[in-house]
Chain A
Amino acid sequence: MISFILMVNKQGQTRCSKYYQWLPMEERVALESEIIRKCLSRSELQCSFIEYRGYKTIYRRYASLFFIVGTKPDVDVTQVEGAAAENRENELGLLEFIHNLVETMDKWAGSICELDIMYQLEEVHFILDEMVMNGYIVETCKGATLRPVDLLERESRKGEAMFK
């Protein structure tokens, strides 16, 4: 399952993070910084997968933005058998899922950049919530994903704006 999604700039600062498994804050910060460091230090010629502390991380770089998806074996098997299970995620599938996410965000904000994510963090979250839930891909069609965001805009035009 997907355990977290990160959007990071090339200085290594996290611009958006979403976790699907609860981690204490210190652990989260440590994990993020280590994984980001590893991703940033890799070259174009190396593969897009990193294994680190039981996570298999799939990342993709878009200009100055890194999109990082961390996956883990499904939770239930861990609990039932008391042993670590095989990670059943499809690596290339997630690699293309990142691209699908980026295309969706492009459709929403033109060409997506770090500033869009920073200043419209709430909408990024809405989009992410539409695409991934509970650690699994739920929707991949761009139109369907962007509907709640469109709805929000319509609402704001009606005078019930997000911030007013």
Chain B
Amino acid sequence: MASQAKGLQNFISDLRNAKSKEEESSRVERELAKIRRKFASGLSSKSNEDGSNTSLSSYQRKKYVWKLVYIHVLGYEVDFGHSEVLTLVKSNKFSEKQVGYVALSLLLRGSDPLMNSVVNSIRSDLVAGGASKGSNSVQIDTAQSLALCSIANISGLELIQALHVEVQHNLVSKTSSPNVKKKSALCLLRLVRTSPNLFAGREFAPHIAQLLQDRHLGVLTSTMSLLNGLAVQHPTEYETLIPYVVHILGMLVIKKACGKEYLYYKTPSPWLQIKLLKFLQLYPNILAEKDANPSSKASTAQLTQVVQKILTETDVSDSINKSNADHAILFEAVNLIVCWGPSGPTQLREAAMKLLGKFISVREPNIRYLALMTMAKLAQLDTGSAEGVKKHQTTVLVSLKDADISVRRRALDLLFVMCDSDNAEMIVDELVNHLVLADAAIREEMVLKIAILAEKYATDLRWYVDTILKLISISGDHVSDPIWHRVVQIVTNHPQGDLQAYAAATLLVAASPRRCHETAVRVAAYVLGEFGFLIAERPGMSGEEQFRILHQHWHSSDETTRAILISTYAKLANLYEECRPLVAPVFARCKNSVDVEIQQRSAEYAAMREAFSPEAVEDLLREMPPFEDKEQTALELRLKDKEGEDSATFVKAARPSVEQRQRAAQAAAAAREVEEEAQRQHYEEEGGEEDYDEEDRLQDLAPVGIPKEIIPAMRKAFSNLCTCSSGVLFENNFIQIGLKHDYQAAQGRITVFFGNVTSNLLKHVRISIDDCDHLRMQKQGTEGLLDDEEGGGCSVAARTQAKLLILVETLAPFDDAPAMRVKFETTEGIKHEYPLRLPIVATCFMEPVELASGAFMQRWKSLEGQERECQEIVKAPQSAPEIDEEYMEKIRSIITDGLHFGHCQGCDPTPWTISGAATYRTGSKDKNGNNINVGCLVRVEANPQARAFRVTTRTLHPLCSKAVKNVALVSIKLA
């Protein structure tokens, strides 16, 4: 062993004994100062032309350079002494040269300008080994190796470009020793990587072929690295080398022909085998080529034989090293099978699948990790492998809970890849459940993947919205902006069904609690601003309520959220008169905000009403148009950033699922329909009335909806009808819709009249009512009324009515009202379409119960608890008189007559409380065949000073509590 310099020894000992990082660094600083001084001393008189100090002895120079190397390895910047390193490289003495080259490759960067001055010296080493004359061939060889090594490890472009001819020569020269050859190969690889155009690929294939016939396994190993690098860039030009590679593989695997020194625990050089198999993975189609010539046929036959042997004969052995090495090869062989895909032999694929299935449940964590990873690749194949993978779903789910984060990541990836339409719901739910327990390191990744899967495989987009909401509530911090933006995009782009109303309602509920995640507030704010009007007539979801629910988060929100909230407020204020006085102070305050965006938005929105005409304001605050569907969504891009383009997960994410295609087709069909409709109308008009003006024609394209000005009146009518047995539901210049309803236990009978109030005929009057799970409905109407085909429907003459009779039975508690769409066409051909709601709410099915005060209190107490209780405070309307006994009497009649509750007189100690009890009757039967009923209690407490009422409901079913509370609130407000 080489003896060490004493100074260096001492220095290392000092560092070793350093008790703290500070002590270490002060020692290093001292040493650096000393070395700098040594290098600089007497520089002016005795320096070389390249700036190194000639007064240093060889020993000193080596010692100081080594110290620099050591300091560098410890993680300190070393920015001087480079010229001394170069002097060592240029030296004739072997020992100096060696130190010089090692230091060169560690301390200097390839692009360092100093490198230029050393090029010639390296070149002479490369060509003949520039060591001192008379040195033996071993030394020449070693000097060459050293030079190659340093080029390969660090060199920049200039250096390798200057020297690549020599390197290439060394590689192919017959006189080069194996040692030089193998290093030249990796040196060239660097050239191939950094400047591929410099390197002529085609002509080089024969040289590689020659190198592949070398007997030296070291040469083969490095040649294979070079070949892999070349073939990745130009696969076709190296295809001819496949037989050579297969031959070597055959020698190693089947004949086990390998020098003793290259046996690793009796396995012939596993690393070479890995590289050979990697090369073959670049040619996924070799087994598919039918018209292959006999020689290549023989080689593919040999190849399958080799793979077969690896697959069947790899076994766990006593030595962990042997076992690892063999499995390394095995996994590479499986990778090759995955590459072949369907073109490979089925039995190999099945065997691989079986092995992986075994491996994912072994104890050895490394094997489990790799098996999960490889299985993810296999699951990507289209041929039945996916089915095979699915069998292991339960095992993979177990791995998701593994103690090891690396294994968990792989399991997550695999689940992501194996997810398809059949098991998506289960996998996503499982992932969401696991998210609660998952640790921070993996959460972000999980959230992203769940979001992608939920979008991909949602058969019902409502499920997608629910899933994302769950993500926000479980792990809101990891739900990045692109994820919630995507929700907005999807909701906006899919008007089919009642997704938009559903999303608005769900988000409103999600934002209701005082504490909810900021991301939830953002989505809710945006979606309510856009689609809040769709749910405004539902009880407890009026514009005012929407504002109240959103605004409670104002103080805990940051600037970005506030900016979104402000836009939403502007939209709410535009739609609902009663919101304006609420919104105005917010804008007034924010006009002075320090945040520019908030300041600008609030100032502009506040001034808008005065500055523009109502139509212009309407235009400005209209819903956003559908978003453009991009090729790659932001989520996919994120995944790509994280995992790379070739990763199995990304490939998976980029491929559209059946559901996505269906949705896209639906959207396209809807768009086409609108267009065709427009065109047809266009023709009709052309034929009919030729002097129709252009402007009117444009207006005809889409059906006329409910004008915004009558929305408040409409909502009031709806709320009235919830507690009245008859009344007008909707009224405008064309049609009056009246309604009569009465209920008996779980059943109800609703009659709806559609009166034509114009002096002309109304054509194609059509009604459609959405089915819902909790109501069983039977409909019967004027002939044609329920025929929801385009062009169908019945005609209603002037001043006459069409009639619709609905028989309903409730099956379960609910808290919304069924949707009804009314469509008709005037004689001018203008289409109208009004989305309305039928006032069939939970309280319709109540049956009053008379309770003595003791019994009431007993039940009241027994129903305590978060889920069962609902409470809300409501202000008496501005116009109402003072709250006195007369007023309370009115409230009482609301409870008894409107809500169908029995008044429990005994338990109201003061005139300011009213308690009621009722039974909610459903038509569903329990196990014994009895109807299921839900007991409901309500209490209204008035505070005359504050002019407010507190409504508390307690029932056995959370939905019941909510529904009763909502109806009570609305009715009290209208009293």
Contacts and interface: CB of A to CB of B under 8 A. Distances in A.
Nearest to A109: B1
A48 B324 CA distance: 12
Contact of B406 (A46, A81, A93, A151): A46
B643 A84 contact: yes
A34 interface: no
A119 B110 CA distance: 28
A83 B645 contact: yes
Contact of A28 (B75, B95, B154): B75
Given A47-B365, A144-B261, A137 B271 contact: yes
B366 interface: yes
Given A22-B110, A90-B274, A99 B321 contact: yes
Contact of B149 (A91, A121, A133): A133
Given A96-B321, A126-B98, A163-B4, A51 B270 contact: no
A40 interface: no
A42 B644 CA distance: 26
B225 A92 contact: no
Interface in B76-123: 76-77, 93-95, 98-99, 102, 105-106, 109-110
Nearest to B99: A122
Interface stretch (B215-223, B494-502, B852-860, B895-903): B215-223
A162 B105 CA distance: 19
Given A48-B366, A91-B366, A121-B70, A140 B262 contact: yes
Contacts of B232: 74, 76-77
B548 to A, nearest CB: 45
Contacts of A93: 270-271, 274, 325, 328, 332
Given A120-B4, A129-B149, A151-B142, A140 B73 contact: no
Most A CB atoms within 10 A — which of B63, B74, B366?
Answer: B366
Most B CB atoms within 10 A — which of A32, A73, A123, A134?
Answer: A134
Nearest to B190: A134
Contacts of A87: 644
Contacts of B562: none
A49 B369 contact: yes
A14 B264 contact: no
B269 interface: yes
B643 A134 contact: no
A129 B4 contact: no
A124 B102 CA distance: 11
A110 B278 CA distance: 35
A152 B70 CA distance: 20
Nearest to B641: A84
Contact of A49 (B4, B63, B262, B366): B366
A88 B370 CA distance: 13
B331 A140 contact: no
Interface string B310-348: 000000000001001101100110000000000000000
Contact of B365 (A45, A75, A163): A45
B152 interface: yes
Interface string B632-649: 000000001101111100
A96 B145 contact: no
Interface string A59-80: 0000000000000011111011
Contacts of A79: 193
A47 B651 CA distance: 26
B75 A144 contact: no
B148 to A, nearest CB: 8
B186 A144 contact: no
Contact of A75 (B4, B5, B186, B193): B193
A46 B138 contact: no
B269 A140 contact: yes
A143 B178 CA distance: 14
B9 interface: yes
B403 interface: yes
B189 interface: yes
B160 to A, nearest CB: 11
A100 B264 contact: yes
Interface residues of A, number: 75
A160 B645 contact: no
A162 B145 contact: no
B59 interface: yes
Interface in A111-134: 118-123, 125-126, 129, 133-134
B331 A90 contact: yes
B145 A92 contact: no
Interface in A37-54: 42-43, 45-51
B75 A14 contact: yes
B264 A96 contact: yes
Nearest to B335: A90
A46 to B, nearest CB: 4
Contacts of A139: 182, 218, 221-222
Most A CB atoms within 10 A — which of B9, B94, B153?
Answer: B153
Given A29-B75, A49-B369, A133-B186, A162 B62 contact: yes
A95 B364 CA distance: 14
A147 B644 CA distance: 40
A96 B366 CA distance: 12
A55 interface: no
Given A133-B153, A137-B271, A84 B644 contact: yes
Interface string B21-32: 000000000000
A122 B937 CA distance: 86
Contacts of A120: 1-2, 4
Given A93-B274, A93-B328, A129-B153, A161 B95 contact: yes
B139 to A, nearest CB: 8
A75 to B, nearest CB: 5
A20 to B, nearest CB: 6
Contacts of B102: 122, 125-126, 129
A47 B407 contact: yes
Contact of A92 (B9, B328, B644): B328
B179 A144 contact: yes
Nearest to A97: B271
Given A100-B264, A163-B5, A134 B187 contact: yes
A120 to B, nearest CB: 7
Contact of B645 (A14, A81, A91): A81
A85 B325 contact: no
Nearest to A137: B271
A138 B186 contact: yes
B321 A160 contact: no
B62 A32 contact: no
A64 to B, nearest CB: 14
A99 B217 CA distance: 19
Contacts of A162: 2-4, 62, 95, 99
A106 interface: no
A85 B646 contact: yes
A155 B99 CA distance: 14
Given A84-B641, A120-B1, A92 B370 contact: yes
The 5 nearest A-B residue pairs measured at CB:
A92-B328, A47-B365, A84-B644, A86-B646, A162-B2
24 contacts: A14-B73, A16-B73, A17-B73, A28-B75, A32-B75, A46-B406, A48-B366, A49-B369, A76-B192, A77-B232, A79-B193, A84-B640, A84-B641, A84-B643, A88-B278, A91-B328, A93-B332, A121-B70, A129-B102, A133-B152, A136-B186, A136-B189, A148-B142, A161-B3
Interface of B: 1-5, 8-9, 12, 16, 59, 62-63, 66, 69-70, 73-77, 93-95, 98-99, 102, 105-106, 109-110, 138-139, 142, 145, 148-149, 152-154, 179, 182-183, 186-187, 189-190, 192-193, 196, 217-218, 221-222, 225, 229, 232-233, 259, 261-262, 264, 269-271, 274, 278, 321, 324-325, 327-328, 331-332, 365-366, 368-370, 403-404, 406-407, 409, 640-641, 643-647
Interface of A: 14, 16-18, 20, 22, 25, 28-29, 32, 42-43, 45-51, 73-77, 79-81, 83-88, 90-93, 95-97, 99-100, 109, 118-123, 125-126, 129, 133-134, 136-144, 147-148, 151-153, 155-156, 160-164
